[in-house]
Structure 1
C-alpha cells in the first residue's frame, strides 16, 4: 500500500469493517454469529458482567444472599471465560496451529500417564486425550459454532465450575484427590490450553505446556535445574484443586479487580467519552507543529482510561489521528509509530493502568494507591518525552499544525487564563476534599445519599452545559479545509464524562477503598449516566417527544457496554488462568532458586547484566504473550532473582521497582518487531509497512525502555521515601533529562546533532538522572571498617541513616551466600545501644565477628540478617558533598551544546533567507 488512499476503502489502509475485525480477532473474538447462537453469546457475556458487578458490590452482604468466597468466584469467572473463548474465537486453521493444537493434548496425555503411578487408569487418560483430539481436529468454522465446539465450551465451563460445585467436599480432602478430581483436572488443563491457543495464540500455550512437562520430568532435567519430579496426584491437586495454580492469585486479581476496570472503560467508551477525549486533544494541541501527532499522544493517554488493550487503543484513536498526521507531513510509518508508542504507554498511565498493575498489588503486597504513586512520575515523564519527540520530528521536516477556526488570544492573556483555571481547579479540589470531610460526620449513615445527591446535581449541571456545546464529530477534521474546533466549547461538551473518573480516583486515592470496590462505584455511576444522559439531554433541548426513543437508546448503550466489557475480558481471564499454571509450576518445583543460579552464572553476578537479560526475556516472551501473562511469567521467574543479586551487589532494590521494570518491558513487546501486534494494527490503518512501523515505534519508545533501568538505580523517580518538595524537584530534573535523552536519540536538539553532541546530551541526561554515580567516584559514600569495629561504626553513623553490613551465611536451602544488609540506626547514646535497638547482638569468635543473635521482628531481621552470620565488612555513611553539585558541569556542557546549535541554526536560517 502507498500513502495514497486506496480505491477499495477510501482510506489510507483497511476499511473500518476490516479494522473492527482486526480488533475483534485480537481482543473480543472474531466470531459473531447471528440468530439464536448470537443471542446466546450476547446473553452469556451480559450474565458475566452482571455476575461481576454483583460480586464486587456490597449488595450480597446487605441482603445476605449470593455471597461467594474468592475461590468460588474464581471458578465462576473462569467458567464464563472458557465458555465464551470457544463460542467467540474460531481456531486458526494453519498447519502449524493445527499441529500445535493436536500436539499439546498428546504431550499432556503422555505426561499424565507418566505421572499417574496407578492413581488413575491409563485407559481413562487415553479416552480423555482421544475425545479432546477429535473435538479439536474436527474443525472450527468462522460463521457458526459447531456442535463439538459447544461440547468443548460446556466441558470447559463444567471443569472450571468443579471447584464451585464441590467446594465443601474438596475442602475436606485437601491433598488427597479422588478419581473425579483427576478427570476434572486433566480435562480442564487440556481445554484451558486449547482455549489459550484460540484466544491468545500458541506462545502462552507452549510455555505453559513446557512448565507442566518440567514439573513431571524433574529428575530427567539438567542437573542445575533438576528436581525430584511430581506425580499426577500432586500436579492435579496443585494446579486444579487448590488455589496454587490455575485458580491462584493471577485469576483472583482478574476476578476481583481487572474485570471491573475493563467494564468501566467499556461503559465510558459507549457513553461517548472516546470521541470526546480525541476532540479535546485536537482542540488544545492540533495547531502546534505536527499538531495531530501531539494530539494523538494526548488522546491516547486519555483513551488509556478506557482501554487497557494496546491494539484497541491504536485502532480507536489511530483511525482518526493517523490520516491527520499524514496530512501535515508524517510518513505512513512515522504516523503509525507515533500512534503505537502513545497507545502502548496507555497501560502505564495512572490512575487506571493495565491489568498487570493490579497483580502488583498482590505480588508486591502494597496498596493500589502506592502502585499508582510509584508509577506516576515515570509514566508522565514518558508521555512528555513522546510529545517532545513528535515536536522534534516536526522541526526536522518543517511541519506546521492544523488551521484554527479562531484567532488565538495574546500569550499573556492565555497564561492568565491558564493560571486562573488552575486556581479554580485547586479551589474546587480543596472545597470538595474538606466538604466531604464535613459531610460524613454531619450526616452519619445518610452521608452516602447526600454525596450521591450532590454528585447528581453536578452531573445535571455539566450535562446541561454539554447540550449547549455539542461535541463535534472527528470525521469533520478529515475533510478538505477543515479547521480545529474551539477549545473552550469542546472541553465543555463532555465534562460530565470526567465525573466517573473523579469517583474512581477519589475512591482509590482518598477513601482508599479496594480497587474492586472503587471500580464498582465508578461503574455504577457510569451505568447511571448511560441510562440518563440521552433522555435528560432530550428534555434539556426541548425534544420531549423523543424521550421514549432516547430511553431505549440509553438502555441499548448500557447492554452494549456490558457485553463489550465481558468480551474484552475473555483473553485476560484465559491468560491469567494459564499463567497460573506457570506460577504453580514455579512454586511446586522450586525452579525459581535453580533459575537464580543459572542467571547468576550467565550474568557473572553483575546486576546490569541480569537486568539486560530480564529485559530481553520480556521482549522475547512478549512476542507471543499478552502483557499480563508476560508480566506474570517474568516476575514469577526473575523478580526475586533481581532483588537477591542486587542485595549481593550491595544495591537494595525495592520489590516494586523490579515489578515495574518487568511491566515496562512487557508492554514494550507490543511494539517490537517482528511480532509487535500494535505495530501491525497501526500499519493496517496507515497503509505503511508493519516492520518499518515497528522499528520506528521502537526508537520512539527508547525513552520507555531507558526509564526502568534508571529507576532501579535511582528510586527517587518512583517517589519512594520522597517528600513533596523533593518530588517536584525530581520531576523537573527527570523531565529535563528525559527530553535531552530524546533529543540525543532522535539526532536533533535545536539543530541537527553532530555525533559528539548526541553523546554529550546522553552524558548530561545520565548525570541529571543519576548524579550520585559521578559523586561516588569523586568522594566515597561510605567509610569501610573492619568487622571488629562494628560497634564504633554504629556509634559514628548519623541518627536516621543506615549502617551497611556485608555478611556471609546460608540461604533457606542451606547454600552459602553473601549479601549486603542495610540496618537503620537510631539516636541511642552508644554504639552497643544502637545495635541492640536494631535487634543485633554481636560476638567475636576466633578473630571473626558473628551475629550472635538477631531479635525476631526487629529492623535487623527485616533487613535479612539472622543469627550466626559472619560480618565480612562494615560500611558507615561518609560525609559526602551533595550529589547535586554534579549538575554544575553537566549544565555547563549543556550550555555549550545549546550555544553551538543556536549559532548553527541561526546561520542556517540566514543562508535560507539569502538563497530565497
Structure 2
C-alpha cells in the first residue's frame, strides 16, 4: 500500500474540493443549529422516500416542496462568498432567504387548486412569489453550483425579455414580465419542469443509494479491489486509478469529487512509482471524468435522457453508452501502459498491495450495484430499482461486522444523501429556466438551423461546431445541468441535419436521437478536462502538485477517445448497439479496442519500441480506421495495424532502434 503520510488527509482533500468544487464549500455548523440542519436534511430524505414509495403527490406539489427544501438548506449551508470566514455561523440575511425559500416551496401545496383555476392569469401575489422563486433559484445556484450556469440562465432570461432587440435569426417578439414569470414558475416548462422532476425522483434516490454505499466503505473497497486486480501490472498505480475511478463514477455525480477522493490515494502512488506530476494528475482527472459516462448511473444524466428523448427506456440509454465508455477507459488504460513502458516503470510490489483474501471477502459490497443493472434489465422502473437497491445495500452490509450499517449509519446516510442532492436540485432548477426560455422562444431550433447553416449543411462541420458549443456550455457546470444545457441548445443541430431528408412531422429515429444526445453529453463532460477551464484537471493538479494547464493538456490527450468516439457513433450507430447482431457487436468491439491500441501508441510515441513521427501518424490513422465500424475501413486498418506490429517486432529484435 502507499505510505500513509503520502496520502492527503481529510482536511487537505476538503481544501482542494472547496477550491474547485462549489458543492463542497459549505458551512460547518455545530451545536443546536447543526442539529436543526441535520434534522431538516433528514426530513428532506424522508419526504422524498415517501413521495417515491407512494407516488401519490401531484407533480407540482412534489417539485415545489423539493425546491423549497433545497433552496432553504442551501442558504443555511452555503455562504454568499466562497471565502467567507464565518464557516460556523449563518448570516442574518441568509435566515431571511431561507424563510422566503420555504414560503416559495409551500405556495403550490397551499394554492394549487386556485392556481389551476386561474389558467395562466397571475395575481400580484403570484407575480411576487414567481419573481422570488426565480431570484432565489439563481442565487442558490451561484452559491452551490457556481457562476457559469447562473450567468447562462440569467442571459436566457434577458434573451426572453429583450427578444425584439435581438439581431438576425435570434429575434423574437419578446415576453412581457408577467408572461416571463408565468413561463418560468407557473408552467411545467420552467423551474418546475422536467430537469427538476428528474432531480426530485430518479437522481435523489440514486444519490441516496450512493450515500448508503459510502457508509458500507465501498469507496475504499473500490481502491483495494483495483489494487488487487491491477496493482502488479506495468504502471500499476495508474491502472488502479483508471479502474477505481470507473467504479467510483457509479456512486459519484462529480468529476472533481471523484478526482479528490480517489486521487488522494492513487496520485501519490503514481508519483512514487515514477510518473511525472502532470501525467499522474492527468490520469486521475481523465479517469474520474470518465466516471460520468460509465453506465449504469452516468452522473445521473441517463435519467434525464430518458425524459428528454422520449420513447426509450433507461436500459436503452445505459446499453447504448456501454461500448463508448469501454473504449474511453480502454484508451486511457492503453496510453498509461505505453507511457509506463516508455519510461520503464514496473508494477507495485506484493508488500504494497492489500491482502487478496481480505479484499475478495468483501466482494458482496458489489451486489447492490449489480442489482441495479439486473433490475433495470428486467424492466423494473428506475425509482423501484433504486429503492430496492438501497434496501439491498443495507442487507448486504450485514454480512460482515466491518461493513455493517446500523440505525445511526442509516440516519446519517439519509442526511448525507439529502446534502449531496442540494446542488443538483439548484442546478436542475436553473436548467429548467433555460429549457423554459428555449421552449417558449423556439431558440433551440433557431440555434440548430444557425449551426447547420454555418456548417453549410456538412455533417462533419456541423458536428465540429456542435462539439465546440457543448464544450463551452459545459465548462464549469455539473453533469446534470451540463447535459440539460447542451441537449437543449446543441443536440437539435445534429438531429436537424440528420432528419432533413425525412418526412416533416415524423418521429425522430431512436438511433439519431440517442447518438445526438450522447454526442453533446460527451463533449459537455470532457469540458472538465479541456483547458482553459478544466476543473477536474486543476483539482488533480492540486493533489499532485503539478502545473494545472499542463495537467489539463495531458488529460485531454489521455481522454482522446472522448473526442473521437462521439463522431464515430453519430456516423455509425453500431457502436451504440443499435440494430446490431451479437456477432456484429463482438466484431465492432474487437476492432474498436484494437483501434484504440493504435491511437494510444501514436499519441504516446511508444509501442513495442519508440516510434518515429511518421510511424505515430500511421498508427493513429490505422486506429481511426479500426474504430469506425465499416467493413472496408476495418480491413485496411487491420492490414496497416498488422504491418506496424511486424515492423516493430522485427526492428526491435535486430536492435535497429534503441528503446526509449
Aligned partner of 1:679 in structure 2 is 537
Q: Flag the structure with more relative contact order, 1 or 2, with Cα contacts below 8 A and sequence separation at least 6.
A: 2
Aligned partner of 1:384 in structure 2 is 330
Task: Give the one of 157, 168, 192 matched to 1:223.
Answer: 168
Give yes or no for contact 1:744–1:762 (8 Å, CA) kept in 2: yes
Give yes or no for contact 1:27–1:567 (8 Å, CA) kept in 2: no
Which consecutive residues of structure 2, in runs of 5 or more, have no partner in the other structure? 503-507
Partner secondary structure for residue 352 of structure 2: coil
1:345-424 to structure 2, matched below 5 A, reads 345-365=290-310, 366-404=312-350
Give yes or no for contact 2:588–2:629 (8 Å, CA) kept in 1: no
Q: After superposition, what is the alpha-carbon deviation per residue over 1:56-100, rounded to whole angstroms, capped at 9, x for unaligned?
A: 22xx37xxxxx3122211111111110111111112268xxxxxx
Pair 643,261 (structure 1): closer, same or farther in 2 beyond 3 Å: same
Shift of 1:718: 0.2
Give yes or no for contact 1:303–1:313 (8 Å, CA) kept in 2: yes
1:706 counterpart = 2:453: no
Structure 2 CA distance for aligned equivalents of residues 714 and 682 of structure 1: 34
1:221-370 to structure 2, matched below 5 A, reads 221-365=166-310, 366-370=312-316
Shift of 1:485: 3.1
Aligned partner of 1:16 in structure 2 is 10
Task: Give the one of 618, 622, 630 matched to 1:764.
Answer: 622
Pair 912,83 (structure 1): closer, same or farther in 2 beyond 3 Å: closer
Aligned partner of 2:119 in structure 1 is 174
Aligned partner of 1:409 in structure 2 is none
Aligned partner of 1:35 in structure 2 is 31
Which aligned runs of 4 or more in structure 1 are off by greater than 6 angstroms?
A: 649-653, 909-913
Structure 2 CA distance for aligned equivalents of residues 755 and 567 of structure 1: 51
Partner secondary structure for residue 604 of structure 1: coil
Aligned partner of 1:54 in structure 2 is 50
Aligned partner of 2:99 in structure 1 is 154
Give yes or no for contact 1:392–1:748 (8 Å, CA) kept in 2: yes
Q: After superposition, what is the alpha-carbon deviation per residue over 1:643-696, rounded to whole angstroms, capped at 9, x for unaligned?
A: 111233799861000000111111101112222221122122212222221111
Task: Give the one of 68, 89, 108 matched to 2:78.
Answer: 89
Give yes or no for contact 1:606–1:649 (8 Å, CA) kept in 2: no
Structure 1 CA distance for aligned equivalents of residues 431 and 9 of structure 2: 35
Aligned partner of 1:466 in structure 2 is none
Shift of 1:141: 3.4
Aligned partner of 1:460 in structure 2 is none
Shift of 1:151: 0.6
Give yes or no for contact 2:305–2:317 (8 Å, CA) kept in 1: yes
Superposition TM-score, scaled by structure 1 size = 0.68
1:798-813 to structure 2, matched below 5 A, reads none
Give yes or no for contact 1:614–1:634 (8 Å, CA) kept in 2: no
Task: Give the one of 376, 394, 404 matched to 1:508.
Answer: 376
Structure 2 CA distance for aligned equivalents of residues 150 and 771 of structure 1: 58
Aligned partner of 2:412 in structure 1 is 560
Give yes or no for contact 2:628–2:634 (8 Å, CA) kept in 1: no
Give yes or no for contact 1:716–1:730 (8 Å, CA) kept in 2: yes
1:556-705 to structure 2, matched below 5 A, reads 556-648=408-500, 654-705=512-563
Equivalent residues, number: 650
Structure 2 CA distance for aligned equivalents of residues 885 and 671 of structure 1: 34
Give yes or no for contact 1:90–1:140 (8 Å, CA) kept in 2: no
Structure 2 CA distance for aligned equivalents of residues 11 and 340 of structure 1: 19
Task: Give the one of 49, 58, 61 matched to 1:69.
Answer: 58
Give yes or no for contact 1:266–1:307 (8 Å, CA) kept in 2: no
Structure 2 CA distance for aligned equivalents of residues 76 and 911 of structure 1: 67
Partner secondary structure for residue 228 of structure 1: coil
Structure 1 CA distance for aligned equivalents of residues 469 and 384 of structure 2: 35
Aligned partner of 2:645 in structure 1 is 898
Pair 632,364 (structure 1): closer, same or farther in 2 beyond 3 Å: same
Moved more, 284-293 or 736-745: 736-745
Task: Give the one of 590, 594, 602 matched to 1:732.
Answer: 590
1:499 counterpart = 2:396: no
Structure 1 CA distance for aligned equivalents of residues 25 and 43 of structure 2: 17
Partner secondary structure for residue 654 of structure 1: helix
Pair 754,280 (structure 1): closer, same or farther in 2 beyond 3 Å: same
Give yes or no for contact 2:289–2:536 (8 Å, CA) kept in 1: yes
Structure 1 CA distance for aligned equivalents of residues 477 and 462 of structure 2: 21
Give yes or no for contact 1:334–1:693 (8 Å, CA) kept in 2: yes
Pair 483,518 (structure 1): closer, same or farther in 2 beyond 3 Å: same
Give yes or no for contact 1:28–1:570 (8 Å, CA) kept in 2: no
Aligned partner of 2:505 in structure 1 is none
Aligned partner of 2:152 in structure 1 is 207
Structure 1 CA distance for aligned equivalents of residues 658 and 318 of structure 2: 50
Shift of 1:590: 1.2
Superposition TM-score, scaled by structure 2 size = 0.94
Give yes or no for contact 1:504–1:518 (8 Å, CA) kept in 2: yes
Shift of 1:54: 1.7
Pair 493,567 (structure 1): closer, same or farther in 2 beyond 3 Å: same
Larger radius of gyration: 1
Moved more, 395-404 or 618-627: 618-627
Pair 602,140 (structure 1): closer, same or farther in 2 beyond 3 Å: farther
Give yes or no for contact 1:28–1:88 (8 Å, CA) kept in 2: no
More helix by share: 2
CA RMSD of aligned residues (A): 2.4
Structure 1 CA distance for aligned equivalents of residues 530 and 94 of structure 2: 34
Give yes or no for contact 2:76–2:94 (8 Å, CA) kept in 1: yes
Aligned partner of 2:141 in structure 1 is 196
